[in-house]
Structure 1
């Protein structure tokens, strides 16, 4: 099972469309968004993954009720600052990462095989206390100059980064 991971898109439609096209090409099974979509007008661009989309709010996401409504309209889920999912029985904790205590608690809880977060705009993959920690970096490219995403192979637990 391949999971695409994006975040911190910050209304950059051009890079969002590039990411969606790339993720369609590699045929991912699920798409996670770590938050900071920003505006509701970005959501229709995620429609190709609609029912396979799970997202969380970021600290810059306004109009949360409208964002959630738009994501629900395309078949996805967006309704919290964190989300627990278990694809193929593998417990994953998804959050934006701007609440340090929440992020640290998830990492150190021993409850999750994988913790996915964003917020820092820096891509990262590491293991801590047996937990695989993934940050896809920033899709927008505004802070680092690189628009990045991650692909997690759930069968091998390998993470690859892609620069758009």
Structure 2
């Protein structure tokens, strides 16, 4: 099973569209969004996904009730701060990652095979304590050479069968 992972879309419609196009072309079966969608108007773009999306709130999501309503209108979900799910026999935790100690606690808990976070805009994939840790960076405002930039954002694809992930530049 292939899972799309994204974060920090910050209402940049063209970046959201590029991510959706990439996910649809990769035959992604589920998308996890690690927070900071921001405004309800940008949620409408996610309707174009060929799969379900589950999101977690981020520190810039101003109206979670409206985000939840718009996502729910087409079968998407918005969870508060943190959520866990089991997919393909793998236990996955998702949080925005505003609190690095929460991400570290999830990794060290031994309860998860995969931990997904966002917030930093700094894309990375690593193994820590036998946990695959994914930060897809920002699809809108990625960090390049230590500086937040506009455009050429990143997303990730998680392959549950191989327990591997790959960063993709938009």
**What is the RMSD of the two structures over their aligned residues, measured on CA atoms?**
1.3
Residue ranges of structure 2 left out of the alignment (5+ in a row): 143-147
Determine the C-alpha separation between the residues in 2 that align with 1:94 and 1:106: 9
CA drift at 1:48: 2.8
CA drift at 1:51: 5.9
**Is structure 2 residue 164 aligned with structure 1 residue 158?**
yes
CA drift at 1:129: 0.9
TM-score (norm 2): 0.92
Count matched residues: 164
Partner secondary structure for residue 36 of structure 1: coil
Specify the alignment match of 1:75 in structure 2: 75
Partner secondary structure for residue 41 of structure 1: helix
Q: Is the contact between residue 50 and residue 75 of structure 1 (CA under 8 Å) also seen in structure 2?
A: no
Partner secondary structure for residue 91 of structure 1: strand
Specify the alignment match of 1:48 in structure 2: 48
| Residue-by-residue CA offset, 1:79-121 (whole Å, 9 max, x unaligned) | 2111101001200000000022321211110000000000000
Specify the alignment match of 2:155 in structure 1: 149
Map 1:1-164 to 2 at 5 A: 1-49=1-49, 52-141=52-141, 143-145=148-150, 146-164=152-170
- Deviation above 6 Å: which 4+ runs of structure 1? none
Determine the C-alpha separation between the residues in 2 that align with 1:22 and 1:127: 25
TM-score (norm 1): 0.95
Specify the alignment match of 2:145 in structure 1: none
Partner secondary structure for residue 35 of structure 2: coil
Which has more strand, going by share of residues?
Answer: 2
Residue ranges of structure 1 left out of the alignment (5+ in a row): none
